[in-house]
Amino acid sequence: MINMPRGTQDILPLEAKKWQYVENMLRKISNNFCYDEIRTPIFESTELFARGVGDTTDIVQKEMYTFLDKSNRSLTLRPEGTAGTVRSYIENKLFAEVIKPQKLFYIGPMFRYERKQKGRYRQFVQYGVEVIGEESPKIDAEVISLAYNIYRSFGLENIKVSINSLGNPEERKAYNEALVKHFEPSIDEFCSDCKNRLYKNPMRILDCKIDAGHKLMKTAPKLLDFLGQESKNYFDEVLKHLDSLEVKYEIDHNLVRGLDYYTHTAFEIMIDNKEVELKTLCGGGRYNGLVEMLGGPAGEKGIGFALSIERLLLALETENISLPLEDNIDIFVVSMGEEAGNYAVKLTNDLRLAGFKVQNDYFDKKMKAQLKLADRYKASFTIIIGEQELEEKELVVKNMANFTQDRVAINEVIKYLEERIKGE
């Protein structure tokens, strides 16, 4: 037997209902916030991610599924959604649209070669948004509020937003120099990744999972102290809007992203539950330098976030929140005798086309077995057809909730059910 690849999962029908519910909800909220869907390819040129995600990131260094196609092009299964979205924004000249900024969202599979863990897969589904074109603290606050309220709308209360400002590239340069000074004397006490990061990308030391407990982490210089007045004002504005939008947040000085095109706001949404190992549900931030870095016009600013549906579902599970899933059907058609059985096929089809969720028995089972099946399907109504009903052109319609039943003329049955099921 051939098994599924490590780090992937089969989503079986019962679980798929949860996914559908979550995806529908994400689409609905996106729509209310006026974000439109964009669908980009699942594989892109490897070069796009090397540049767009960054050569020094774990994603590019360790986690990409890269392959040569039959014409020796290097392609990569997308590990995240921002690079492809920004590429598409540039390639399709969305910057020339009348409405700016463009407010986009995506839902789709991403691929990373990672160590498998609960809530960490090699194929996982991200929902994300990107707001590209113009910049305003109001946009940053809207994006964070969207992410926050996605979790709230599923009933998750124990969440918090961690937020920081990364300022602009010059401010970060000064900060990076201060970090090198801070860590350099004791760098031997850190992991090999951190040693490599010290000169290449010192801010990423603050993000290290292995050395998170080291005493120098707590005493490290704070980026906020290196921000100029303009950056400080921008950050204050964002926070002011978050207050008025009633988004609960905490400033986290160690929340950093090392790449040059990240500017100003960076945030994460975490679950506040000790039992959950992977607490980060969602990450995002402003990337004012990215469009230009990928070959687009200068001055196009952007902000976005991404979350995975896997971790959202895991969070719901650990918080004991169940989704209101529909697991019943409207009608089960029971028939007795060959002629009635054939008619049941036609009636089932007619009722389905009239908009009801309907099942019948395919195998001319005994009445009792068919009623049992109706029960398993959790049918709200059962229609019973025998030879006599066919002759009299009347069907027995049973309401399974209160066990009442009516005889209904065949040509009245759709109307009868519409009144009772759709409330028409």
Contacts to ligand ATP by CB under 6 A? 80, 112, 114, 119-121, 124, 126, 278, 280-283, 306-308, 310-311
H-only helix segments in 9-136: 13-32, 46-52, 58, 82-91
Q: Residue 307 CB, nearest distance to ligand ATP (Å)?
A: 5
Q: Residue 287 CB, nearest distance to ligand ATP (Å)?
A: 12
Q: Residue 87 CB, nearest distance to ligand ATP (Å)?
A: 17
**Which CB, 18 or 112, lies closer to ligand ATP?**
112
Assign residue 391 a region: left if phi > 0, alpha if psi is -120 to 50, beta otherwise? alpha
**Which CB, 288 or 335, lies closer to ligand ATP?**
288
Q: Residue 126 CB, nearest distance to ligand ATP (Å)?
A: 6
**Which CB, 316 or 417, lies closer to ligand ATP?**
316
**Which CB, 56 or 405, lies closer to ligand ATP?**
56
Q: Residue 295 CB, nearest distance to ligand ATP (Å)?
A: 22
How does strand 43-45 pair with strand 74-77?
Answer: antiparallel
Q: Residue 9 CB, nearest distance to ligand ATP (Å)?
A: 10
**Which CB, 93 or 118, lies closer to ligand ATP?**
118
Q: How far is Cα 331 from Cα 333, in angstroms, rounded to an integer?
A: 6
**Which CB, 97 or 277, lies closer to ligand ATP?**
277
Q: Residue 80 CB, nearest distance to ligand ATP (Å)?
A: 5
**Which CB, 280 or 405, lies closer to ligand ATP?**
280
**Which CB, 167 or 304, lies closer to ligand ATP?**
304
**What letter does residue 408 receive in the DSSP assignment?**
E
User: In terms of Cα–Cα distance, which of 246, 82, 227, 229 is closest to 164?
Assistant: 227
Q: Tell me phi and psi for residue 383, to 5 degrees.
A: -105, 130
DSSP per-residue codes, 289-328: THHHHTT--TT-EEEEEEEEHHHHHHHHHHTT--------
Q: Residue 399 CB, nearest distance to ligand ATP (Å)?
A: 45
Tell me the C-alpha to C-alpha distance, in Å, between residue 57 and each of 64, 88, 166, 222, 251: 11, 22, 17, 22, 24
**Which CB, 141 or 307, lies closer to ligand ATP?**
307
Q: Residue 113 CB, nearest distance to ligand ATP (Å)?
A: 9
Question: b/e map of 341-371 (b: 16 or more CB within 10 Å)?
Answer: bebbeebbeebeeeebebbbbeeebeeeebb
Q: How far is Cα 11 from Cα 311, in angstroms, rounded to an integer?
A: 14
Question: b/e map of 175-207 (b: 16 or more CB within 10 Å)?
Answer: bbebbeebbeeebeebeebbeebbeebbbbbbb
Query: Is residue 287 within 8 Å of 262, Cβ to Cβ?
Result: yes
Q: How far is CA 241 from the centre of its chain?
A: 24
